[in-house]
Structure 1
Amino acid sequence: MGTGLSRRTVLTMGAALLMTAACGTGSGGNGKIKVWHGYTDAEAAAFGKLAERWNAAHPEQQVELVFNGGNDNVLQKTLASFASGNPPEVAYQYGSSITGLTGRPQTQDLTDQVRGDAEFRWDDLFAAGREAATVDGKVYGIPALVDNLSLVYNEKLFDEAGLAHPTAEWTWDDFRSAARKLTGDGRFGWAYVNDGTEDTVWRFLALLWQAGGDLLSADGKKAALASDAGRQAMELLRDMAVTDKSVYLDAGDQQYLNLFNSGRIGMLWTGPWDLGAINEDVSYGVQILPGKVTHATIAGPDTFVVFGDNGRENALPFLKWLLSPEIHLEFAMETGHLPIRQSEVELPGYAEYEAKYPGAKVFVENLEKNVTKARPNIPQYPKISQVLGTAVQSVLLGQAEPRAALDQAAAEIDQALAAS
């Protein structure tokens, strides 16, 4: 998300809670490790159990888990903690927020500690996670979560419409045609989050990459989205939302899930975070995204970022343990999170994971085959996302034509890049 991402609602639900998994309250010194996170419900419970296990075995490196609101303001809260002189040792950061923390004296460069540690096995992490944690060739975070978008569909609605279920060979034309046939009588073929945030943007980026395009030029200095590929992606959105009227435009309040559960939406482009919220009486399938030139999808990795000497000395060992294959698979079993390491799928317990979360298989395979590009890890990305979100939103609402929206967005992105 991340920003992300949406998936972010899994981390933002509920009232704020303070969850302490260790004795003591202070941060810094004496091996105490304060970890800011956004987990609630099953995620918070699973995280807490692991922290308790670590604390029982490491009396000199006690972990204190602190719920910190679990929203995209965590970057601002982290920066505020720098100003107050009381940052945590670790903070869970969403998506490309890491670029706002690099270059600051509190943020630890972990390159030697993770790439140079044979036991940590940096290259075992899925590429999307490694990219999210790396800025300008240096590692500033530890991958905390890796997900991606796939096509989730209501099998009953397809059967009632006499439509064959989506396949791995589906094209954009197949997708549009099915959405059109699923639409009517208060139903929509597809849903698209259209609040103009990163939740709007990252679905478009998947389309852009599927058409063979990219967001920026190879050197990262100019916008590249106002291309034939960008036009084709925007035209598909316009054709489906404005011409076919087969798209439910979600205002960012996550109503698409309620509508999917009630049989009023046939298809979603979503991630594993939504599977647990689908009603048990809804028979659904999961397939890779439809393709144009490729079947590219987009990952929304989040990271744990480490601060200060105490974080480097005492928090890093905890994170290495937490994200080891066996321990992380335990966490995935409890939460439905995807594996973050390739070796996790080879563990004996992975078969049990797939049995418990049958829809996760496609998402895991995506990490190996269809996550081929990443959002740029640059300080200007939040501005780029804002500009592109406005452009996509205007096209989906029928307020702008694809070419004009892309040209305007490209000009504003070029200005943002030039001003850096």
Structure 2
Amino acid sequence: MRQPSGRPITTLVTGIALMAGVLTGCGSGSGGGGKADKVTFWHGYTDAQATAITKLVGEWNAAHPDQKVEPVFSNNDNTLQKTLASFVSGKAPSIAYQYSSSIPALSGRNQTQDLTSLVKSSPDFAWDDFFPAARQGATVSGKIYGVPALVDNLSLVYNKKLFDAAGVKYPTPDWTWDDFRNASKKLTGKNKYGWAYVNDGTEDTVWRFLALLWQAGGDLLDAGDKKAAFATPAGEQAMQLLADMAVTDKSVYLDAGDQQYLNLFNSGRIGMLWTGPWDLGSINKDVSYGVQYLPGKVTHATIAGPDNYMVFDKRAKDAAWPFLKWLTSPEIHLRYAMQTGDLPLRASEQKLPAYKEFLAKYPGNKVFVENLAKNVTKSRPNISQYPRISQVLGTAVQAVMLGKKQPRDALKDAATEVDQILAGS
């Protein structure tokens, strides 16, 4: 999930003021029956992504004069609110790019189109070809509400020069938590830190903890999403590692959410990051870095943040579907990824001749792609309560890393709050 070019967020919809008349003229209208006059496509692409998508839309329009798509820029950070407002005004977009955190808030709306039947009746769409994380991110309660637009994940990015200077061997695919912690301690000192962790209590804090929780064999919620499942030995092990590194070892730079971790990595003051492919383009060219799987306990699990194209205009549904099928087809998406550095959406993209060229251009992406097939085995729950759950857990992690709470107490208190949220209280 990117914000706007790669940071994970949780969008809260509580308190959004829905005002009629907002964004009038930006859509083709939402309602039943009839033929849509146009297909409007809200997106938040900028820079290379904007150039690539504009070219592709133009290509589609030239080949399909009766199914033209009109791209409209909409800041991704505000698209959920603007989409909800457009439902009131009656001017919903035909298609909109939405963060994965938005899908629970949109899936129950009358305007949001259930794409399950289209997906199931379109064998040429090859739904199972999308990486599992992308499919999970588009699905709520067994129904498909999104077409995958982006999928990424966290990997370990490390500064080779700092490792060499500290006499630490580079991370390997079978690195353990102990290996990781020991390396972080050896990399720390003289105003340098072994690792950086975003500790502002937001989803940026939480999704790194979830990777640790899954690596220890734990889970966030029970199988029915009815109760918290993280106040367990696995949860304590994950939280204890954070406490050991941040409080005992003092080998972690606690980023306050202002993204200083990347500047410090570039200046040689941080040895390791847990980050995604979105940050690779911002690493200075004079920094020699490597990318490896996250360290493991029971597994080397990581976490993905898939985003989606969602359809909101029933009249435009028939016209929007062929465009989305084309845009996310293996050949077209790989062409897009070649220009932007985005990861493949589909497993089959790796079999195309151009994929070797993609890896040659973006060598750091190799591990991220491997993760999608190997280490992304779970996803955050697509339930409406997740933003509140994330807030509770983010506060708990923050308190532990600041030394204000012990891991077991923080988890127990957070689990009590989460259970109340899930019970509707």
Give the TM interval when normalised to the shorter protein: over 0.9
Count of residue pairs the alignment pairs up: 405
Query: Does 2:321 align with 1:316?
Result: yes
Tell me how far apart the structure 2 counterparts of residues 167 and 384 of structure 1 sit (CA, whole Å): 34
- Classify 1:174/1:101 alpha carbon distance in 2 versus 1 (closer, same or farther; 3 Å): same
Alignment match, 1:159: 164
Query: Does 2:403 align with 1:404?
Result: no
Deviates more, 1:201-210 or 1:377-386: 377-386
Query: Does 2:354 align with 1:355?
Result: no
| SS, match of residue 304 in structure 1 | strand
Tell me how far apart the structure 2 counterparts of residues 198 and 112 of structure 1 sit (CA, whole Å): 32
| SS, match of residue 66 in structure 1 | strand
Under a length normalisation based on structure 2, what TM-score does the superposition of the two structures give?
0.93
Task: Look up the equivalent residue of 1:239 and give its one-letter code.
Answer: D
- The alpha carbon displacement at 1:116 in A equals 2.0
Is the Cα–Cα contact under 8 Å of residues 5 and 95 in structure 1 kept in the other structure? no
- The alpha carbon displacement at 1:25 in A equals 6.5
Q: How does 1:38-49 map to 2 (within 5 A)?
A: 38-49=44-55
C-alpha offsets along residues 296-325 of structure 1, whole Å, 9 cap, x if unaligned?
A: 000110111101223311111111100000
C-alpha offsets along residues 151-186 of structure 1, whole Å, 9 cap, x if unaligned?
A: 000001101111100001100000001011111111
Query: Does 2:278 align with 1:273?
Result: yes
Over the residues paired in the alignment, what is the CA RMSD in angstroms?
1.6
Q: Which runs of 4+ in 1 moved over 3 A?
A: 28-31
Alignment match, 1:27: 28
- The alpha carbon displacement at 1:142 in A equals 0.4
Tell me how far apart the structure 1 counterparts of residues 189 and 408 of structure 2 sit (CA, whole Å): 29
Q: How does 1:272-351 map to 2 (within 5 A)?
A: 272-351=277-356
Q: Aligned match of 1:143 in 135, 148, 154? A: 148
- The alpha carbon displacement at 1:115 in A equals 2.3
Is the Cα–Cα contact under 8 Å of residues 153 and 286 in structure 1 kept in the other structure? yes
| SS, match of residue 76 in structure 2 | coil
Task: Look up the equivalent residue of 1:158 and give its one-letter code.
Answer: F
Alignment match, 2:372: 367
Is the Cα–Cα contact under 8 Å of residues 8 and 305 in structure 2 kept in the other structure? no
- The alpha carbon displacement at 1:5 in A equals 8.3
C-alpha offsets along residues 346-402 of structure 1, whole Å, 9 cap, x if unaligned?
A: 000000000000011101110011001111111111111111111111111111111
Under a length normalisation based on structure 1, what TM-score does the superposition of the two structures give?
0.94
Alignment match, 1:36: 42
- Classify 1:26/1:205 alpha carbon distance in 2 versus 1 (closer, same or farther; 3 Å): closer
Alignment match, 2:56: 50
Q: Aligned match of 1:104 in 84, 102, 109? A: 109
Task: Look up the equivalent residue of 1:264 and give its one-letter code.
Answer: R
Is the Cα–Cα contact under 8 Å of residues 154 and 285 in structure 1 kept in the other structure? yes
Is the Cα–Cα contact under 8 Å of residues 221 and 227 in structure 2 kept in the other structure? yes
Query: Does 2:7 align with 1:8?
Result: yes
Task: Look up the equivalent residue of 1:32 and give its one-letter code.
Answer: K
| SS, match of residue 148 in structure 2 | strand
Alignment match, 2:250: 245
Tell me how far apart the structure 1 counterparts of residues 296 and 202 of structure 2 sit (CA, whole Å): 24
| SS, match of residue 197 in structure 2 | strand
Deviates more, 1:239-248 or 1:206-215: 239-248
Instruction: Point out where structure 1 has 5 or more consecutive residues left out of the alignment.
Output: 11-23
Alignment match, 2:97: 92
Alignment match, 1:80: 85
Tell me how far apart the structure 2 counterparts of residues 311 and 41 of structure 1 sit (CA, whole Å): 28
- The alpha carbon displacement at 1:224 in A equals 0.5
Tell me how far apart the structure 2 counterparts of residues 414 and 76 of structure 1 sit (CA, whole Å): 27
Alignment match, 1:210: 215
| SS, match of residue 302 in structure 2 | coil
| SS, match of residue 391 in structure 2 | helix
Q: Aligned match of 1:387 in 376, 392, 396? A: 392
